[in-house]
């Protein structure tokens, strides 16, 4: 998980997406929906298409707070 965090800090979209999924479902880390959303957003801003979808899904399902 540490390598994903390092890659995400260096703006690697796929690492951000993988972290988001891990935090959303609690694989390898404690489940944390706000942190999952943060990484989905970061990956989406970096152009990751799946993360763009997941960010929208979070808004629709109400999994985040503004």
- Residue 20's domain comprises 2-61
Domain assignment of residue 30, yes or no: yes
CATH code at position 20: 1.25.40.10
pTM as predicted: 0.90
Domain assignment of residue 52, yes or no: yes
Domain assignment of residue 45, yes or no: yes
Domain assignment of residue 53, yes or no: yes
List all residues 6 or more positions away from 40 whose beta carbon is below 8 Å from its beta carbon: 16, 17, 20, 51, 54, 55, 58
Domain assignment of residue 66, yes or no: no
Number of domains in the chain: 1
Which tens digits make up the pLDDT trace of 22-66? 999 999 999 999 999 999 999 999 999 999 999 999 999 887 754
Structure confidence at residue 44 (pLDDT): 98
């Amino acid at each position: 998980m540490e390598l994903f965090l390092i890659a995400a800090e260096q703006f690697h979209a796929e690492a951000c997406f993988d972290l988001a999924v891990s935090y959303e479902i609690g694989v390898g880390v404690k489940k944390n929906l706000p942190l999952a959303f943060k990484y989905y957003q970061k990956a989406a801003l970096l152009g990751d298409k799946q993360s763009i979808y997941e960010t929208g899904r979070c808004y629709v399902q109400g999994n985040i707070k503004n």
